[in-house]
Structure 1
Amino acid sequence: MDVLENIKHRFKHAGIVEKLIYVNLIIYFVTLMFDVFSKWFKTGENIIVKWFSLNSSFDVFVSQPWTIFTYGFLHANFIHILFNLIALFYIGHLFKQYFTSKQFLNFYLLGTVSGGILFLLGYNYIPLFKNQLVPLVGASAGISAIFIGIASYIPNYQLKIRFIGFIHLWKLALIWVLLDLIQLSGNNAGGHFAHLGGSLFGFMYVKYASNKQFNIFKPFTDLFKRKEKPLKTVYKSGKKPTYSTATKRKSKTQQEVDLILEKISKSGYETLSKEEKEFLFKQGKN
C-alpha cells in the first residue's frame, strides 16, 4: 500500500510532462499484461491493440473513431517506448520553458490527431500503400508536433550536443523532418507519415495561430465576424489627445519584454542575466 500511495503522490505532484510519461508507461504495462493473457488463453490478437490502435483502413476507423487519439498512447515494444519517452522528457521540458501546460497537452493530442490523419490519407490514396492493413501505435506524432513547434518558435536557440557542440534548433528540426521523408517508402512508412503529420501541425500552429490566444481556427472564425468601423471621437479643443503616463509606462515595459524575448530567440534562455530573468518572471505574473 505504501508503494501505491507513493506512486499516487508522485503523480499528483508531477508536472504535465512527467504525468504524460506516467500515463504512457501505465498503458504500456497494461498492454503487456493483456498480451500475456492472450497467449495463455490463445485468444489471438491483443484486445488493447485491436481496439485502441489506429488501423489504416477507413472502414475500421469509422467503426473505431476514438483510435485517432488512443494510438498515441500505445507502443509496440520496450525500445519503442523508451526512445519516445526520453525524447518527450527533454523536448517537453524545453517546450514548457516558453508555453503553458495546457498548450503542451494541446500540441501532444492535436499533433497525434494530425499524424493519424496523414497516416490514413497516405495508406488510402497513395498507390504504393493502398489495400495494406497496418496498425499504427506510438507517441511520435505528438512528440514531433511539440519538437517542431518549439523549433519554429525559437529557431535560433542552441542546444549543446556531446561530441558535436552547439547546434541551432532549426537545424535539428530540419534533420528530424528529412529523416522521415527519406524513409517513407521503408518498412515503417506508417510511422513516418504520422511523424510528418505531427511535425506539420506543430509548424502551422506556431506560425499561423494567434500567439496570444493560441487558436488555430482563428483564420476561419474571423471570416464570420462582423467588421465594425471604429467610432470617431471629436475633440472640441481641436488638440490631439496625448498618451497618459500609465500608457507610456506600459509601452516601455512591452519594449523591454520584446527585447528580452528576441534575445532568447537568438541565444537561448540561459544567456539572460539574473535581472532580465526576474523582470520577465514578474511580467509573466501580471
Structure 2
Amino acid sequence: MASIIRKPFKYSFKNATIIIVLINAGIFLLEKMFPQIQYFCSLNVYTCLAYKMFWQPFTYMFIHGSFTHVLFNMIGLFCFGLAVEKTVGTKEFVLMYLLIGFAGGIFSLVVYYFFGLYRVFLMGASGAVYGILLAYAILFPRSTIFIWGLIPVPAPVLVIAYALIEFFEQFFSFRDGVAHSVHLAGFAFAWLYFVVRFGINPLKVWKNAYR
C-alpha cells in the first residue's frame, strides 16, 4: 500500500501554477457577470447537504469574494507555487494543491456543521495556498522571505508564525469573516501530504537545515 501511495510521477513541468492563477481570475470575472455562481460554488453547509451540491468542497477554492481576495491569494500562489511546481513536477503539484484544498473543504464542512454555522459561505483558495507555502518551506528550508520587501524571515519561521497567528485568530476572532480554520487545515493537510506521500517529516527537515 505504501509503495502505491508513494509511487512518484514522471517529472514534467507545464506551468500549472500560472494556469490555476488564470482559471481563478477567469472565474472571478464570471462571478462579476453572474453573481449566482457564488451561491452554487462556494461552500455552505445547508446548500451542500440539503440541496446535494456535493461539488462545493472542491469548487469553493476557485470562488473569491472581492478583487483583493483573489489578488492576494493568486500573488501567494504565483510566488510560492512556481518554485514548488518546478521542484516536484506539475502532476505532483496539481495533486498536492487540489487535494489540500479539497481536504480543507471537507474539514470546514464538518466543522461548520457541528458548530451550526449554516449561514457561512466559505470561498477562496487561501487554504490550498497556505498548504503550498508550507510545501515551499519544506522544500526550501533555508530560503528567506522578505516581509513587505524589507524584513527577512526564514521560510520555516514564517510558516510557524502564520500558524500561530491563525490559531490565535481562530479562537479570538472567530466571526471576523476570515476562514482561519481552513488556513490551519491547509497547513495541517500539507504537513500530512509530505509525511504520507513522501515520507518526509518537516520538523526533521527544518532541524537539519539549521544545525
TM range (shorter): 0.7 to 0.9
Q: 1:134 aligns with which of 120, 126, 136?
A: 120
Question: Which segment is superposed worse, 78-87 or 96-105?
Answer: 96-105
Corresponding position: 1:198 with 2:186 = yes
Give per-residue Cα distances to partners, 1:226-265, cap 9 Å, x unaligned: xxxxxxxxxxxxxxxxxxxxxxxxxxxxxxxxxxxx9xx8
2:158 is equivalent to residue 158 of structure 1? no
C-alpha distance in 2, partners of 1:197/1:146? 12
Question: Could you tell me how far 1:159 is from its partner in structure 2?
Answer: 2.9
Q: Does 1:56 align with 2:42?
A: no
Shift of residue 211 of structure 1?
5.4
Q: Deviations over 1:11-53 (max 9, x none)?
A: xxx7111111110011110110013xxxxxxxxxx2x112111
Write the letter of the residue equivalent to 2:165. Answer: L
Bigger relative contact order (CA 8 A; separation at least 6): 2
Unaligned runs of 5+ in 1: 1-13, 36-45, 213-261, 268-286
Determine if the alignment matches structure 1 residue 146 to structure 2 residue 132.
yes
CA distance in 2, matches of 1:173, 1:62: 37
Distance (Å, rounded) in 2 between the aligned partners of 1:59 and 1:150: 32
Q: Which moved more, 1:116-125 or 1:136-145?
A: 116-125
Contact kept? 1:54, 1:61, Cα under 8 Å: no
1:109 Cα shift?
0.7
Shift of 1:193: 1.4
- Deviation of 1:118 (Å): 1.9
Gaps of 5+ in 2: 1-13
Aligned residues: CA RMSD: 2.5
What is the deviation of 1:62? 6.8
The residue number in structure 1 matching 2:19 is: 19
Does the CA contact (< 8 Å) of 1:153 and 1:206 recur in 2?
Answer: no
1:176 alignment partner, SS class: helix
Residue 76 of structure 2: aligned partner: 87
CA apart distance, 1:154: 3.5
Alignment match, 2:28: 28
The change in CA–CA distance for 1:160 and 1:131 in structure 2 (over 3 A counts) is closer
Q: Whose radius of gyration is greater, 1 or 2?
A: 1
Partner residue in 2 for 1:188: 177
Matches within 5 A, 1:1-286: 15-35=15-35, 46=36, 48-57=37-46, 60=49, 63-126=52-115, 130-161=116-147, 162-165=149-152, 167-184=153-170, 185-188=174-177, 191-210=179-198, 266=209
C-alpha separation in 1, matches of 2:55 and 2:136: 27
| CA–CA distance in structure 1, aligned partners of residues 196 and 73 of structure 2 | 27
Q: TM-score normalized by structure 1?
A: 0.60
The Cα of 1:125 is off from its aligned counterpart by: 2.2
User: 2:140 and 2:51 mapped to 1: Cα distance?
Assistant: 38
Question: For residues 28 and 100 of structure 1, do their structure 2 counterparts lie closer, same or farther at Cα, with a shift above 3 Å needed?
Answer: same
Shift of 1:180: 1.5
The 3-state SS of whatever aligns with 2:81 is helix
Aligned residues: 188
Percent identity (aligned): 27
Query: Distance between the aligned counterparts of 1:114 and 1:149, measured in 2?
Result: 16
The AA in structure 2 aligned to 1:171 is V
CA–CA distance in structure 2, aligned partners of residues 171 and 64 of structure 1: 39
Report the alpha carbon displacement of residue 94 of structure 1 after superposing the two structures with TM: 2.3
Q: Distance in 1 between matches of 2:130 and 2:43?
A: 18
Is the CA contact 1:56–1:136 (under 8 Å) kept in the aligned structure 2? no
Q: Deviations over 1:53-83 (max 9, x none)?
A: 1113386377011111111101001110011
| TM-score (normalizing by structure 2) | 0.79
